[in-house]
Copies of this chain bind each other. A is one copy, B any other.
Amino acid sequence: MQIDIDILFTWGAVARKYKKNEVIFFENESAFFYHQVIEGTVRMYNANEDGKEFTQGYFSSGQSFGEPPLFTDCKYPSTASCIQDCTILKLSKDKFLKILDAYPNLQKEFLKLMCLRILAKSNTTKDIVNQKPEHRIVSFLNSVKSKKKCGEKLIIPFTRQEIANFTGLRVETVIRSCTKLKEEKIIDIIDHKIYY
């Protein structure tokens, strides 16, 4: 959970509903609002001219997203859109910054959150650059698993295409790599679903 919802409402935040696939903000736009997910899941991604997409991250209930441009006056590095119908809490940039001044602990929390993002991105980049498709997929699966802190095999709630978008591979490559990973007993595939 990021900022307490009651605090946000007190400061004038507004909950807005978005339809599935609706865009919340586009890459290269200026940032005017702090965003926090109340319900649904948001995806941040970059698309290149061929239409190939790279997913920077998913954000769901309780998580904030798109914060860095609020602190730096830069443009959004990626587009954010809803993969389901969503309810998003929006608070204007200046009020958001005032909240941070009013609650110093919150600022610390954000600092910590931004650091975690950096660490995650460092890992992602490292894995994508250095490794073979199977390694990339395993790294992705690890990052999914680490969020769930589950010791046992876990069903991976992503389609092959979604995994492809996270890892920068193509669907077919993901499928073929997963087949290999199954043969190597690293993952299970039961009824087309991936367990890791």
Identical copies in the complex? 2
Query: A122-B56, A129-B168 known; A115 and B48 CB under 8 Å?
Result: no
* A77 in complex: contacting residue of B46, B48, B104, B126, CB < 8 Å: B126
Contact at A77–B123, with CB atoms within 8 Å?
A: yes
Contact at B115–A54, with CB atoms within 8 Å?
A: no
CA distance A124 to B77 in the complex (A): 10
CA distance A54 to B108 in the complex (A): 30
Binary contact track A94-120/B, C-beta < 8 Å → 1, others 0: 000000000010011011101111110
Contact at A71–B128, with CB atoms within 8 Å?
A: no
Contact at B52–A125, with CB atoms within 8 Å?
A: no
Query: A125-B124, A128-B129, A131-B48 known; A118 and B107 CB under 8 Å?
Result: no
